[in-house]
Structure 1
Protein backbone atom coordinates (compact mmCIF):
# COMPACT_ATOMS: atom_id res chain seq x y z
CA UNK A 1 0.00 0.00 0.00
CA UNK A 2 1.38 3.42 -0.93
CA UNK A 3 1.98 5.91 1.83
CA UNK A 4 -0.61 8.69 1.95
CA UNK A 5 0.81 12.10 1.20
CA UNK A 6 0.62 14.69 3.93
CA UNK A 7 -2.17 17.24 3.59
CA UNK A 8 -1.22 20.74 2.50
CA UNK A 9 -0.90 22.84 5.68
CA UNK A 10 -3.00 25.96 6.11
CA UNK A 11 -1.42 28.78 8.11
CA UNK A 12 -3.04 31.75 9.81
CA UNK A 13 -0.68 34.22 8.13
CA UNK A 14 -1.27 35.16 4.49
CA UNK A 15 1.29 34.18 1.82
CA UNK A 16 2.24 35.86 -1.44
CA UNK A 17 3.16 33.51 -4.29
CA UNK A 18 5.84 35.58 -6.01
CA UNK A 19 6.57 33.43 -9.07
CA UNK A 20 4.43 31.00 -11.04
CA UNK A 21 3.19 30.45 -14.58
CA UNK A 22 -0.58 30.10 -14.43
CA UNK A 23 -0.89 29.76 -18.20
CA UNK A 24 1.30 26.64 -18.11
CA UNK A 25 -0.87 24.75 -15.60
CA UNK A 26 -2.74 21.86 -17.20
CA UNK A 27 -3.97 19.47 -14.49
CA UNK A 28 -7.03 21.40 -13.35
CA UNK A 29 -9.15 24.39 -14.37
CA UNK A 30 -7.73 27.77 -13.42
CA UNK A 31 -10.74 28.46 -11.20
CA UNK A 32 -9.97 25.39 -9.09
CA UNK A 33 -6.30 26.34 -8.78
CA UNK A 34 -7.17 29.84 -7.62
CA UNK A 35 -9.79 28.58 -5.18
CA UNK A 36 -7.36 26.08 -3.66
CA UNK A 37 -4.72 28.81 -3.40
CA UNK A 38 -7.12 30.98 -1.44
CA UNK A 39 -8.03 28.02 0.77
CA UNK A 40 -4.42 27.75 1.94
CA UNK A 41 -4.33 31.52 2.59
CA UNK A 42 -2.44 32.69 -0.49
CA UNK A 43 -3.41 36.34 -0.62
CA UNK A 44 -1.76 37.31 -3.93
CA UNK A 45 -0.27 35.47 -6.90
CA UNK A 46 2.27 36.83 -9.37
CA UNK A 47 2.15 35.03 -12.73
CA UNK A 48 5.24 35.55 -14.87
CA UNK A 49 5.67 36.41 -18.53
CA UNK A 50 8.40 34.58 -20.44
CA UNK A 51 8.04 35.23 -24.16
CA UNK A 52 6.58 37.61 -26.73
CA UNK A 53 3.83 35.03 -27.20
CA UNK A 54 2.53 35.17 -23.63
CA UNK A 55 2.85 38.85 -22.73
CA UNK A 56 -0.82 39.42 -23.53
CA UNK A 57 -1.81 36.10 -21.93
CA UNK A 58 -0.32 37.21 -18.63
CA UNK A 59 -2.14 40.51 -18.84
CA UNK A 60 -5.39 38.64 -19.48
CA UNK A 61 -4.76 36.33 -16.51
CA UNK A 62 -4.54 39.30 -14.15
CA UNK A 63 -8.12 40.05 -15.06
CA UNK A 64 -9.31 36.61 -13.93
CA UNK A 65 -9.15 37.46 -10.22
CA UNK A 66 -8.45 40.51 -8.08
CA UNK A 67 -5.54 38.79 -6.36
CA UNK A 68 -3.66 37.77 -9.54
CA UNK A 69 -0.87 40.08 -10.69
CA UNK A 70 1.66 39.77 -13.49
CA UNK A 71 4.94 40.80 -15.07
CA UNK A 72 6.10 41.67 -18.57
CA UNK A 73 9.38 40.38 -19.99
CA UNK A 74 11.16 37.83 -22.15
CA UNK A 75 13.03 34.85 -20.68
CA UNK A 76 16.56 34.10 -21.93
CA UNK A 77 15.26 30.92 -23.58
CA UNK A 78 13.32 33.16 -25.97
CA UNK A 79 15.93 35.90 -26.34
CA UNK A 80 16.21 35.28 -30.08
CA UNK A 81 12.49 36.07 -30.40
CA UNK A 82 12.96 39.45 -28.75
CA UNK A 83 12.18 42.25 -31.20
CA UNK A 84 11.65 45.99 -31.16
CA UNK A 85 7.92 45.26 -31.27
CA UNK A 86 8.18 43.01 -28.20
CA UNK A 87 10.11 45.71 -26.39
CA UNK A 88 7.47 48.30 -27.27
CA UNK A 89 4.77 45.96 -25.95
CA UNK A 90 6.62 45.47 -22.66
CA UNK A 91 7.15 49.21 -22.28
CA UNK A 92 3.52 49.93 -23.10
CA UNK A 93 2.11 47.59 -20.46
CA UNK A 94 4.63 47.10 -17.66
CA UNK A 95 3.41 50.27 -15.96
CA UNK A 96 -0.13 48.92 -15.58
CA UNK A 97 -1.73 48.75 -12.15
CA UNK A 98 -1.50 44.94 -12.03
CA UNK A 99 1.99 44.61 -13.54
CA UNK A 100 4.48 44.36 -10.69
CA UNK A 101 7.84 43.88 -12.43
CA UNK A 102 9.94 43.49 -15.56
CA UNK A 103 10.58 39.80 -15.94
CA UNK A 104 11.38 37.02 -16.28
CA UNK A 105 14.69 38.16 -17.78
CA UNK A 106 18.31 37.08 -17.47
CA UNK A 107 20.78 34.49 -18.69
CA UNK A 108 20.64 30.71 -19.06
CA UNK A 109 23.88 29.00 -20.09
CA UNK A 110 22.67 25.57 -18.94
CA UNK A 111 20.20 25.00 -21.78
CA UNK A 112 21.70 27.58 -24.16
CA UNK A 113 18.39 27.82 -26.03
CA UNK A 114 19.52 31.18 -27.41
CA UNK A 115 22.88 32.55 -28.50
CA UNK A 116 24.71 33.89 -25.45
CA UNK A 117 25.55 37.22 -27.06
CA UNK A 118 21.87 37.73 -27.83
CA UNK A 119 20.92 36.70 -24.29
CA UNK A 120 23.24 39.35 -22.88
CA UNK A 121 21.95 42.03 -25.24
CA UNK A 122 18.31 41.25 -24.44
CA UNK A 123 19.07 41.16 -20.70
CA UNK A 124 20.59 44.63 -20.92
CA UNK A 125 17.72 46.01 -22.97
CA UNK A 126 15.16 44.80 -20.46
CA UNK A 127 17.12 46.07 -17.48
CA UNK A 128 17.00 49.44 -19.21
CA UNK A 129 13.21 49.13 -19.39
CA UNK A 130 13.16 48.64 -15.61
CA UNK A 131 15.35 51.72 -15.21
CA UNK A 132 13.10 53.80 -17.44
CA UNK A 133 9.81 52.64 -15.93
CA UNK A 134 10.82 52.42 -12.25
CA UNK A 135 9.82 48.77 -11.96
CA UNK A 136 11.55 45.99 -10.02
CA UNK A 137 13.07 43.06 -11.89
CA UNK A 138 12.60 39.27 -11.85
CA UNK A 139 15.86 37.59 -12.88
CA UNK A 140 16.60 34.08 -14.11
CA UNK A 141 20.27 33.08 -13.90
CA UNK A 142 21.53 29.56 -14.52
CA UNK A 143 25.18 28.61 -14.99
CA UNK A 144 25.82 32.29 -15.77
CA UNK A 145 26.92 33.76 -12.46
CA UNK A 146 29.87 35.83 -13.71
CA UNK A 147 28.03 37.40 -16.63
CA UNK A 148 24.97 38.07 -14.48
CA UNK A 149 27.13 39.96 -11.98
CA UNK A 150 28.96 41.84 -14.75
CA UNK A 151 25.75 43.04 -16.38
CA UNK A 152 24.05 43.95 -13.10
CA UNK A 153 27.10 46.02 -12.18
CA UNK A 154 26.52 48.11 -15.30
CA UNK A 155 23.10 49.10 -13.91
CA UNK A 156 23.96 49.60 -10.23
CA UNK A 157 23.67 53.38 -10.45
CA UNK A 158 20.67 53.62 -12.77
CA UNK A 159 18.39 50.80 -11.61
CA UNK A 160 16.24 52.59 -9.03
CA UNK A 161 14.67 49.38 -7.77
CA UNK A 162 16.29 46.01 -7.42
CA UNK A 163 14.21 42.85 -7.53
CA UNK A 164 14.68 39.13 -7.10
CA UNK A 165 16.91 36.46 -8.50
CA UNK A 166 14.28 33.77 -8.55
CA UNK A 167 14.65 30.00 -8.14
CA UNK A 168 18.12 30.59 -6.81
CA UNK A 169 20.46 27.68 -7.58
CA UNK A 170 23.63 29.66 -8.28
CA UNK A 171 26.79 29.84 -6.22
CA UNK A 172 27.60 31.89 -3.13
CA UNK A 173 29.45 34.51 -5.20
CA UNK A 174 26.31 35.63 -7.02
CA UNK A 175 24.32 35.35 -3.79
CA UNK A 176 26.73 37.60 -1.90
CA UNK A 177 26.82 40.17 -4.69
CA UNK A 178 23.02 40.24 -5.02
CA UNK A 179 22.41 40.49 -1.28
CA UNK A 180 25.00 43.25 -0.86
CA UNK A 181 23.28 45.19 -3.65
CA UNK A 182 19.87 44.88 -2.02
CA UNK A 183 18.37 42.16 -4.20
CA UNK A 184 16.10 39.44 -2.85
CA UNK A 185 16.59 35.74 -3.52
CA UNK A 186 13.63 33.51 -4.32
CA UNK A 187 13.35 29.89 -3.21
CA UNK A 188 10.89 27.17 -4.19
CA UNK A 189 10.40 23.40 -4.09
CA UNK A 190 14.06 22.74 -4.92
CA UNK A 191 14.73 23.58 -1.28
CA UNK A 192 12.94 20.34 -0.31
CA UNK A 193 14.87 18.05 -2.69
CA UNK A 194 17.23 15.57 -1.05
CA UNK A 195 20.23 16.51 -3.17
CA UNK A 196 19.77 20.30 -2.98
CA UNK A 197 22.06 21.01 -0.04
CA UNK A 198 23.74 23.73 -2.11
CA UNK A 199 20.43 25.59 -2.26
CA UNK A 200 19.85 25.14 1.45
CA UNK A 201 23.34 26.58 2.08
CA UNK A 202 22.26 29.74 0.23
CA UNK A 203 19.04 29.86 2.24
CA UNK A 204 21.13 29.80 5.41
CA UNK A 205 23.23 32.78 4.26
CA UNK A 206 20.25 34.81 3.03
CA UNK A 207 18.88 37.30 5.56
CA UNK A 208 15.22 36.56 6.12
CA UNK A 209 14.56 40.21 5.20
CA UNK A 210 15.75 39.46 1.64
CA UNK A 211 14.07 36.10 1.07
CA UNK A 212 10.97 35.40 -1.04
CA UNK A 213 8.77 32.33 -1.35
CA UNK A 214 7.70 31.01 -4.76
CA UNK A 215 6.72 27.80 -6.51
CA UNK A 216 7.74 28.39 -10.16
CA UNK A 217 4.78 26.14 -10.90
CA UNK A 218 4.07 24.04 -12.86
CA UNK A 219 7.74 23.11 -12.35
CA UNK A 220 9.72 22.01 -9.27
CA UNK A 221 6.95 20.49 -7.17
CA UNK A 222 8.06 20.26 -3.53
CA UNK A 223 8.29 17.13 -1.43
CA UNK A 224 5.97 15.37 -0.61
CA UNK A 225 4.14 15.97 -3.93
CA UNK A 226 7.02 15.47 -6.37
CA UNK A 227 5.76 13.75 -9.49
CA UNK A 228 2.63 15.87 -9.63
CA UNK A 229 2.26 19.14 -11.49
CA UNK A 230 3.27 21.98 -9.22
CA UNK A 231 0.79 24.71 -8.31
CA UNK A 232 0.74 27.84 -6.14
CA UNK A 233 -1.10 26.05 -3.33
CA UNK A 234 1.98 23.91 -2.59
CA UNK A 235 3.92 26.95 -1.38
CA UNK A 236 3.30 26.18 2.34
CA UNK A 237 5.82 23.32 2.03
CA UNK A 238 8.45 25.81 0.85
CA UNK A 239 7.73 28.06 3.83
CA UNK A 240 8.12 25.13 6.21
CA UNK A 241 11.45 24.11 4.68
CA UNK A 242 12.84 27.65 4.85
CA UNK A 243 11.88 27.85 8.53
CA UNK A 244 13.54 24.49 9.19
CA UNK A 245 16.75 25.33 7.32
CA UNK A 246 17.10 28.77 8.92
CA UNK A 247 16.02 27.49 12.35
CA UNK A 248 13.42 30.22 12.65
CA UNK A 249 9.83 30.09 13.88
CA UNK A 250 7.51 29.41 10.97
CA UNK A 251 5.37 32.38 11.98
CA UNK A 252 8.37 34.70 11.63
CA UNK A 253 9.24 33.32 8.19
CA UNK A 254 5.67 33.80 7.00
CA UNK A 255 5.35 37.31 8.41
CA UNK A 256 8.72 38.51 7.11
CA UNK A 257 8.51 36.99 3.62
CA UNK A 258 5.02 38.47 3.26
CA UNK A 259 6.41 41.90 4.17
CA UNK A 260 9.34 41.40 1.77
CA UNK A 261 6.97 40.56 -1.09
CA UNK A 262 4.77 43.58 -0.42
CA UNK A 263 7.75 45.91 -0.30
CA UNK A 264 9.34 44.60 -3.49
CA UNK A 265 6.36 44.06 -5.76
CA UNK A 266 3.44 46.11 -4.48
CA UNK A 267 4.54 49.26 -2.66
CA UNK A 268 5.18 51.08 -5.95
CA UNK A 269 1.77 50.32 -7.48
CA UNK A 270 -0.59 53.27 -7.54
CA UNK A 271 -3.80 52.26 -5.89
CA UNK A 272 -2.60 48.76 -4.93
CA UNK A 273 -3.98 47.52 -1.61
CA UNK A 274 -1.61 48.05 1.31
Structure 2
Protein backbone atom coordinates (compact mmCIF):
# COMPACT_ATOMS: atom_id res chain seq x y z
CA UNK A 1 0.00 0.00 0.00
CA UNK A 2 1.02 3.58 -0.63
CA UNK A 3 -0.43 6.86 0.66
CA UNK A 4 -1.16 10.06 -1.22
CA UNK A 5 -0.66 12.43 1.69
CA UNK A 6 -1.86 15.53 -0.17
CA UNK A 7 -4.49 15.85 -2.89
CA UNK A 8 -7.44 18.08 -3.70
CA UNK A 9 -10.36 15.80 -4.42
CA UNK A 10 -12.76 18.75 -4.35
CA UNK A 11 -11.42 19.61 -7.83
CA UNK A 12 -13.10 16.46 -9.12
CA UNK A 13 -16.89 16.34 -9.17
CA UNK A 14 -19.57 13.66 -9.12
CA UNK A 15 -18.86 10.49 -11.08
CA UNK A 16 -15.41 11.79 -12.02
CA UNK A 17 -14.46 11.96 -8.34
CA UNK A 18 -15.68 8.41 -7.80
CA UNK A 19 -13.63 7.22 -10.78
CA UNK A 20 -10.51 9.02 -9.52
CA UNK A 21 -10.81 7.39 -6.08
CA UNK A 22 -11.42 3.99 -7.68
CA UNK A 23 -8.39 4.31 -9.96
CA UNK A 24 -6.23 5.24 -6.98
CA UNK A 25 -7.37 2.18 -5.08
CA UNK A 26 -6.68 -0.02 -8.13
CA UNK A 27 -3.15 1.46 -8.30
CA UNK A 28 -2.44 0.47 -4.70
CA UNK A 29 -3.12 3.84 -3.08
CA UNK A 30 -4.68 2.78 0.19
CA UNK A 31 -5.16 6.20 1.78
CA UNK A 32 -5.70 9.71 0.39
CA UNK A 33 -5.81 13.00 2.30
CA UNK A 34 -7.91 15.70 0.68
CA UNK A 35 -6.68 19.12 1.73
CA UNK A 36 -8.64 22.14 2.91
CA UNK A 37 -7.89 25.59 1.52
CA UNK A 38 -10.77 27.57 3.07
CA UNK A 39 -12.85 27.22 6.21
CA UNK A 40 -16.64 27.46 6.45
CA UNK A 41 -18.22 25.93 3.32
CA UNK A 42 -14.78 24.93 2.04
CA UNK A 43 -14.05 22.91 5.16
CA UNK A 44 -17.51 21.36 5.02
CA UNK A 45 -16.78 20.18 1.47
CA UNK A 46 -13.57 18.34 2.34
CA UNK A 47 -15.20 16.79 5.40
CA UNK A 48 -18.09 15.56 3.25
CA UNK A 49 -15.65 14.04 0.71
CA UNK A 50 -13.79 12.26 3.50
CA UNK A 51 -17.08 10.90 4.86
CA UNK A 52 -18.00 9.60 1.40
CA UNK A 53 -14.99 7.27 1.06
CA UNK A 54 -13.62 4.89 3.67
CA UNK A 55 -9.98 5.45 2.65
CA UNK A 56 -10.12 9.26 2.34
CA UNK A 57 -9.31 11.67 5.16
CA UNK A 58 -9.21 15.48 5.27
CA UNK A 59 -7.47 18.52 6.67
CA UNK A 60 -9.02 21.93 7.33
CA UNK A 61 -7.38 25.34 7.05
CA UNK A 62 -6.79 28.38 4.87
CA UNK A 63 -4.27 28.35 2.02
CA UNK A 64 -1.91 31.35 2.03
CA UNK A 65 -3.45 32.44 -1.30
CA UNK A 66 -6.74 32.89 0.57
CA UNK A 67 -5.34 34.39 3.76
CA UNK A 68 -6.52 37.89 2.85
CA UNK A 69 -10.18 36.92 2.47
CA UNK A 70 -11.75 38.47 5.56
CA UNK A 71 -10.47 38.24 9.09
CA UNK A 72 -7.72 35.80 9.99
CA UNK A 73 -9.49 32.92 11.80
CA UNK A 74 -8.80 32.37 15.46
CA UNK A 75 -7.17 29.23 16.81
CA UNK A 76 -10.52 28.33 18.35
CA UNK A 77 -12.28 28.61 14.98
CA UNK A 78 -9.72 26.34 13.36
CA UNK A 79 -10.08 23.81 16.17
CA UNK A 80 -13.86 23.82 15.77
CA UNK A 81 -13.51 23.20 12.02
CA UNK A 82 -11.16 20.28 12.78
CA UNK A 83 -13.53 18.64 15.26
CA UNK A 84 -14.55 15.74 13.01
CA UNK A 85 -13.47 12.08 13.05
CA UNK A 86 -12.17 12.12 9.46
CA UNK A 87 -10.14 15.33 9.89
CA UNK A 88 -6.53 14.29 10.48
CA UNK A 89 -4.60 17.54 10.04
CA UNK A 90 -4.60 21.35 10.01
CA UNK A 91 -3.99 23.34 6.84
CA UNK A 92 -2.79 23.82 4.37
CA UNK A 93 -1.27 27.05 5.61
CA UNK A 94 2.06 28.76 5.24
CA UNK A 95 3.60 31.45 3.06
CA UNK A 96 3.63 31.98 -0.70
CA UNK A 97 5.71 34.96 -1.82
CA UNK A 98 5.84 33.78 -5.45
CA UNK A 99 2.23 34.64 -6.27
CA UNK A 100 1.69 37.03 -3.31
CA UNK A 101 -2.09 36.67 -3.64
CA UNK A 102 -2.63 37.77 -0.05
CA UNK A 103 -0.85 40.46 2.00
CA UNK A 104 2.24 39.02 3.66
CA UNK A 105 1.24 40.11 7.18
CA UNK A 106 -2.07 38.24 6.76
CA UNK A 107 -0.25 35.16 5.51
CA UNK A 108 2.16 35.29 8.45
CA UNK A 109 -0.57 35.78 11.07
CA UNK A 110 -2.64 33.00 9.51
CA UNK A 111 0.37 30.71 9.54
CA UNK A 112 0.97 31.36 13.23
CA UNK A 113 -2.66 30.72 14.12
CA UNK A 114 -2.64 27.44 12.22
CA UNK A 115 0.49 26.51 14.17
CA UNK A 116 -1.42 27.31 17.35
CA UNK A 117 -4.24 25.00 16.29
CA UNK A 118 -1.77 22.22 15.50
CA UNK A 119 -0.11 22.67 18.87
CA UNK A 120 -3.40 22.58 20.80
CA UNK A 121 -4.96 19.70 18.87
CA UNK A 122 -1.87 17.59 18.28
CA UNK A 123 -2.89 17.34 14.62
CA UNK A 124 -0.08 17.84 12.09
CA UNK A 125 0.10 21.15 10.25
CA UNK A 126 0.43 20.86 6.47
CA UNK A 127 2.72 23.70 5.36
CA UNK A 128 2.78 25.37 1.95
CA UNK A 129 6.14 27.08 1.38
CA UNK A 130 7.01 28.88 -1.83
CA UNK A 131 9.71 31.50 -2.25
CA UNK A 132 9.52 32.22 1.48
CA UNK A 133 12.20 29.99 3.00
CA UNK A 134 13.66 32.56 5.39
CA UNK A 135 10.32 33.62 6.86
CA UNK A 136 9.00 30.05 7.05
CA UNK A 137 12.14 28.97 8.93
CA UNK A 138 12.03 32.00 11.25
CA UNK A 139 8.37 31.42 12.16
CA UNK A 140 8.95 27.70 12.70
CA UNK A 141 11.90 28.45 14.99
CA UNK A 142 9.98 31.11 16.93
CA UNK A 143 6.85 29.01 17.34
CA UNK A 144 8.81 25.89 18.25
CA UNK A 145 10.32 27.83 21.15
CA UNK A 146 6.76 28.45 22.40
CA UNK A 147 5.89 24.75 22.34
CA UNK A 148 6.27 21.78 20.01
CA UNK A 149 3.79 21.00 17.24
CA UNK A 150 3.74 18.34 14.49
CA UNK A 151 4.16 19.54 10.92
CA UNK A 152 4.87 18.59 7.33
CA UNK A 153 6.46 20.62 4.53
CA UNK A 154 4.30 19.52 1.62
CA UNK A 155 5.22 19.47 -2.10
CA UNK A 156 8.80 20.31 -1.24
CA UNK A 157 10.44 22.74 -3.67
CA UNK A 158 12.47 24.89 -1.27
CA UNK A 159 16.15 25.01 -0.43
CA UNK A 160 18.02 22.38 1.55
CA UNK A 161 18.41 24.70 4.54
CA UNK A 162 14.63 24.83 5.08
CA UNK A 163 14.42 21.03 4.94
CA UNK A 164 17.22 20.77 7.50
CA UNK A 165 15.49 23.26 9.80
CA UNK A 166 12.23 21.34 9.53
CA UNK A 167 13.88 18.02 10.32
CA UNK A 168 15.79 19.49 13.26
CA UNK A 169 12.50 20.75 14.70
CA UNK A 170 10.84 17.36 14.30
CA UNK A 171 9.06 18.00 11.00
CA UNK A 172 8.48 15.80 7.96
CA UNK A 173 9.03 16.49 4.26
CA UNK A 174 6.77 15.35 1.41
CA UNK A 175 7.69 15.11 -2.26
CA UNK A 176 5.33 15.50 -5.20
CA UNK A 177 5.62 14.88 -8.93
CA UNK A 178 8.12 17.75 -9.08
CA UNK A 179 10.69 15.21 -7.88
CA UNK A 180 10.45 13.49 -11.28
CA UNK A 181 10.94 16.58 -13.46
CA UNK A 182 14.18 16.62 -15.51
CA UNK A 183 15.36 19.93 -14.00
CA UNK A 184 14.63 18.97 -10.38
CA UNK A 185 18.14 17.87 -9.43
CA UNK A 186 18.14 20.16 -6.39
CA UNK A 187 14.91 18.65 -5.09
CA UNK A 188 16.25 15.15 -5.64
CA UNK A 189 19.38 16.10 -3.67
CA UNK A 190 17.20 17.14 -0.73
CA UNK A 191 15.16 13.93 -1.08
CA UNK A 192 18.37 11.92 -0.80
CA UNK A 193 19.35 13.78 2.38
CA UNK A 194 16.12 13.81 4.38
CA UNK A 195 16.19 11.13 7.10
CA UNK A 196 14.28 8.00 6.14
CA UNK A 197 11.83 8.37 9.00
CA UNK A 198 10.71 11.84 7.81
CA UNK A 199 9.80 11.12 4.16
CA UNK A 200 6.31 11.21 2.64
CA UNK A 201 4.95 11.26 -0.91
CA UNK A 202 1.99 13.03 -2.48
CA UNK A 203 0.47 14.20 -5.74
CA UNK A 204 -0.92 17.67 -4.90
CA UNK A 205 -3.42 16.64 -7.58
CA UNK A 206 -4.88 17.94 -9.82
CA UNK A 207 -1.51 19.70 -10.23
CA UNK A 208 2.05 18.58 -11.02
CA UNK A 209 1.53 15.26 -12.78
CA UNK A 210 4.78 13.29 -12.56
CA UNK A 211 6.91 11.98 -15.40
CA UNK A 212 5.85 10.05 -17.53
CA UNK A 213 2.42 11.71 -17.28
CA UNK A 214 3.44 15.37 -17.56
CA UNK A 215 0.75 17.48 -19.18
CA UNK A 216 -2.11 15.35 -17.91
CA UNK A 217 -4.43 16.32 -15.09
CA UNK A 218 -2.85 14.78 -12.02
CA UNK A 219 -4.77 12.40 -9.76
CA UNK A 220 -3.92 10.31 -6.69
CA UNK A 221 -3.16 7.14 -8.67
CA UNK A 222 -0.12 8.92 -10.09
CA UNK A 223 1.62 9.01 -6.70
CA UNK A 224 3.06 5.61 -7.59
CA UNK A 225 5.31 7.26 -10.22
CA UNK A 226 6.65 9.77 -7.69
CA UNK A 227 7.24 6.98 -5.20
CA UNK A 228 9.16 5.00 -7.82
CA UNK A 229 11.44 7.97 -8.50
CA UNK A 230 11.96 8.58 -4.78
CA UNK A 231 12.78 4.89 -4.34
CA UNK A 232 15.42 5.23 -7.05
CA UNK A 233 16.88 8.32 -5.37
CA UNK A 234 17.04 6.50 -2.04
CA UNK A 235 18.35 3.21 -3.44
CA UNK A 236 15.27 1.27 -2.37
CA UNK A 237 12.74 -0.99 -4.04
CA UNK A 238 9.33 0.54 -4.66
CA UNK A 239 7.83 -1.89 -2.15
CA UNK A 240 10.31 -0.84 0.54
CA UNK A 241 9.70 2.85 -0.18
CA UNK A 242 5.94 2.35 0.00
CA UNK A 243 6.27 0.60 3.36
CA UNK A 244 8.58 3.32 4.65
CA UNK A 245 6.44 6.28 3.64
CA UNK A 246 3.21 4.61 4.75
CA UNK A 247 4.72 3.97 8.18
CA UNK A 248 5.86 7.59 8.38
CA UNK A 249 2.39 8.78 7.37
CA UNK A 250 0.73 6.69 10.06
CA UNK A 251 3.10 8.04 12.70
CA UNK A 252 2.51 11.67 11.73
CA UNK A 253 -1.19 11.49 10.81
CA UNK A 254 -2.02 9.17 13.68
CA UNK A 255 -5.76 9.92 13.58
CA UNK A 256 -6.02 8.33 10.10
CA UNK A 257 -7.27 4.84 10.88
CA UNK A 258 -7.69 2.79 7.68
TM-score by structure 1 length?
0.89
In the TM superposition, what whole-angstrom CA distance separates every residue of 1:221-269 from its partner, at most 9, and x where no partner exists? 0011111100000011011000111222222211110100000012xx3
Tell me the SS of whatever aligns to 1:43.
Answer: strand
**Corresponding residue for residue 220 of structure 1:** 208
Query: Does the 8 Å contact 1:75/1:105 carry over to 2?
Result: yes
Counterpart Cα distance in 2 of 1:97 and 1:217? 23
> How many angstroms does 1:158 deviate by?
4.2
Q: Structure 1, residues 71-97: CA drift from partner, whole Å, max 9, x if none? A: 010011001015366765422131321
Q: Deviation per CA, 1:51-81, whole angstroms, max 9, x where unpaired?
A: 2351111111111111110001001100101
Distance 2:16 2:103 in 1: 36
Ranges in structure 1 where 5+ consecutive residues have no aligned partner: 1-13
Runs of 5+ consecutive residues of structure 2 not aligned to the other structure: none
Partner of 2:22: 35
**Which structure has the larger Rg over C-alpha atoms?**
1
TM-score in terms of structure 2 length: 0.94
Q: Could you tell me which residue of structure 1 aligns to residue 102 of structure 2? A: 114
Residues 130 and 82 (structure 1), Cα distance of their counterparts in 2 relative to 1, 3 Å cut: farther
Equivalence map 1:98-177=2 (5 Å): 98-177=86-165
Match of 1:184 among 153, 172, 178: 172
1:252–1:57 Cα change, 3 Å: same
Distance 1:59 1:83 in 2: 22
2:58–2:88 Cα contact (<8 Å) kept:
yes
> Compared with structure 1, are the counterparts of its residues 194 and 94 closer, same or farther at alpha carbon in structure 2 (3 Å cutoff)?
same
Moved over 4 A (4+): 84-89
2:181 corresponds in structure 1 to: 193
